[in-house]
Amino acid sequence: MQINKKTSLTSRIMFGMVAGVMIGLLLQALLAGQTEVYIPLGLFDFPVKSVFVDGFFHIGGQIFIASLKMLVVPLVFISLVCGTCSLSDPKKLGRLGGKSIGLYLLTTAVAITVAISLALLVSPGVGYDVPTNASFDAKQAPTLVQVIINMFPTNPISAMAEGNMLQVIVFALLFGIAMALSGEAGKRIATIFEDLNTVILKLVTLLMNLAPYGVFCLMAKLFTTIEMDLIIGLAKYFFVVVAALFIHALINYSIILKTLTGLSPIKFLRKMKDACLFAFSTSSSSATMPVTLETATKKLGAHNSVASFTVPLGATINMDGTAIMQGVATVFIAQVFAVDLTISDYLMVILTATLASVGTAGVPGVGLIMLAMVLNQVGLPVEGIAIIMGVDRLLDMTRTAVNVTGDCMVTCVVAKSEKEFDVEVFNDPNAAKTLEENKPIS
């Protein structure tokens, strides 16, 4: 007899997340600031933190993150080659690039404007005592010229090994164009790449079944080690950033999507659940990219020829969540150090953060580098970054979910404008259950 379908992937991930948070908080209370707690078990004392936090949770979480990152380079390269070689019009790449980068820059500018406006309204830094030991070593950001030069790989294999996504994207585009122009030889290789793409997507589906366990381990370790005192001390700053992130994700993206495509924002946000949960738990747009690409094509209806270009590009240069953090952090640090910023200073913050999202693309620790650039631009002490770093890990999770939502929103807009979008898939609430195994059980 047929009975209910088994629990959806979204529900299982949510359960793993909530369970991880509860276990983490329980262990944090048990440890109570101690480096280790031992439970006597007759012949030996059982070390709780070493076995669970540093052992089981750490290993499980890192294996999950590693398995996702393992897929990023082959998925992006193969998918982008498939999409590029299928383009009938070479000029389309230029249009895709122009529209995508333009929209990503627009959403970043809107994001930081909302963040600054909300922070000025709430004033999270007023009355906050400046710590005497605040220090931060700001790394030098590369120039825009150097970033453009570094986009072109001298060794594509090395770029893939190092996970340099801008270089991988450029090489995949050039390789795909060459395949499209190579006649029968290109068609034969294209068939191989299409088969490889099918296999990689199946591997994504298989690994997604491990997600609830990976998310549980990540959340359990995070909430065992996170310093709740810091969050309480910076509660005003913390909630202003979270509020700005929600406003941008739920309102700004909805307005842009509805205005430019006419699509339903409610349906869009419902279909983003899985990708957002992955982004929240991994805190990495790159690690979430397999799920983001799957969501954009199989659930939202964007054709692979567009999504395979816009999603990897967005994971690299779309930093709306980071821009929101920078906007609130700039106002917060200015208020903490009693520095009055003018309207022109805030306009400079918006311009600097927007351009820096492209200018520092692919650089490790890009969020803090960008913030240091913004603070230097308006004469604020870079040491202020040290004040907010304690809560940045938790905020980073929400920021990444916003970034991924922005990647998919831009993908839908660009795909719709290029007539590479399946509206029926978008409107179908049961479209593409490829991230889940929802077969009936008897």
The pLDDT tens digits of the residues spanning 321-345 come to 888 988 999 999 898 888 888 888 8
- The boundaries of the domain holding residue 159 are 9-430
What tokens were used for 298?
């199989």
Amino acid 222: pLDDT? 84
Amino acid 125: pLDDT? 84
**DSSP code of residue 428:** -
Count how many domains the chain has: 1
What is the pTM for the complete model shown?
A: 0.81
CA distance 127 to 414: 45
CB proximity list for 150: less than 8 A, separation 6 or greater: 142, 166, 167, 362
CATH number at 165 reads 1.10.3860.10
Q: Under DSSP, is residue 44 helix (H, G, I), strand (E, B) or coil? A: strand
Amino acid 372: pLDDT? 81
- pLDDT tens for residues 103-134? 999 999 999 999 999 999 998 888 776 655 55
Amino acid 268: pLDDT? 95
Amino acid 389: pLDDT? 76
175 located within any domain: yes
Closest-CA residue to 372 (of 141, 123, 105)? 141
Provide the residue type at 368 as one letter: L
56 located within any domain: yes
List, as own/partner pairs, every contact residues 247-250 make where C-beta atoms lie below 8 angstroms and the sequence separation is at least 24, other chains included. Answer: 247/114, 247/118, 248/110, 248/111, 248/114, 248/115, 248/320, 248/324, 248/402, 249/401, 249/402, 249/405, 249/406
Rg of the chain, C-alpha, whole Å: 23
CA distance 209 to 313: 26
Contact in structure between 83 and 308 (CB atoms under 8 Å): yes
CA distance 365 to 372: 11
CA distance 394 to 136: 19
139 located within any domain: yes
What tokens were used for 145?
């010229």
CB proximity list for 99: less than 8 A, separation 6 or greater: 413, 414, 417
Low pLDDT (below 50) residues in the chain = 1-5, 135-136, 434-442
Residues in a beta bridge with 45: 40
Interior angle at CA 90, CA 89 and CA 93, nearest 5: 105
313 located within any domain: yes
CA distance 75 to 164: 14
> How many whole angstroms from its chain centre is CA 305?
21
CA distance 337 to 346: 16
437 located within any domain: no
What tokens were used for 274?
């899985």
CA distance 224 to 180: 52
Amino acid 107: pLDDT? 94
115 located within any domain: yes
- C-alpha distance from residue 417 to each of 123, 232, 299, 422 (Å): 40, 46, 18, 12
CA distance 307 to 374: 31
Q: Burial code of 418-442, b = ≥16 C-beta within 10 A, e = fewer?
A: bebbeeebbeeeebbebbbeeeeee
Amino acid 441: pLDDT? 30
Amino acid 133: pLDDT? 52
Amino acid 316: pLDDT? 81
Specify the length of the chain in residues: 442
2 located within any domain: no
CA distance 204 to 198: 10
Helix 320-336 to helix 235-247 angle (10° resolution) is 150
CB proximity list for 247: less than 8 A, separation 6 or greater: 114, 118
**DSSP code of residue 302:** B
Amino acid 435: pLDDT? 45
169 located within any domain: yes
